[in-house]
Amino acid sequence: MTRVFVDTGIFVAAHDRGDPERQARAIHVLEALHERHEVVVSSQVLAEVFAAVTSGVGAPLPASAAADLVADVSEAATVVSVTQAVVTFAIEVMARHGLDLWQAQALATAHLEGARVLLTDGPRGGAELDGVRVVNPLTADFDAKLLE
């Protein structure tokens, strides 16, 4: 069972009726993860999911529904905190990999938590950064074997 860090955009896309094709891909990714992998998220992801689904999607969710969604993500995944070590590592790698702080924090968390794969719709898809394979699973040519 591979440890896979799942970034904010994947959960948001799965709940965004503004882009049905992307939504279908995101749901497919969650199904694949459910069957075979340990999903890891950070406290940063939980907060960003709440913020995005209540204001950054085609049909925003009420706060109470978004809270239920965040609660389910929290229970379905292993939740890790954004610690001082994560922030320090993120600051170190952001310039080296051309990432903003928030993306670098996702990478740093994945790295420090031993996740081999970072699923994200952010930059650097296809790259191997600090031992973490960065994969954008919302592209048309995504192959679930990349999670192995």
List contacts with another protein (CB under 8 A).
Answer: 8-9, 14-20, 23-24, 26-27, 30-31, 34, 48, 50-52, 54-60, 63, 66, 68-69, 71-76, 100, 102-103, 122
**Distance of closest approach, residue 114 Cβ to another protein, in angstroms:** 18
Which CB sits closer to another protein, 32 or 112?
Answer: 32
**Distance of closest approach, residue 47 Cβ to another protein, in angstroms:** 9
**Distance of closest approach, residue 91 Cβ to another protein, in angstroms:** 15
DSSP string over 24-46: HHHHHHHHHHHHHEEEEEEHHHH
| Phi, psi for residue 102 in degrees, rounded to 5 | -70, -40
Q: Any idea what the Cα angle at residue 53 is, between residues 56 and 80, rounded to 5°?
A: 120
Nearest Cα to Cα of residue 83 among 60, 105, 111: 105
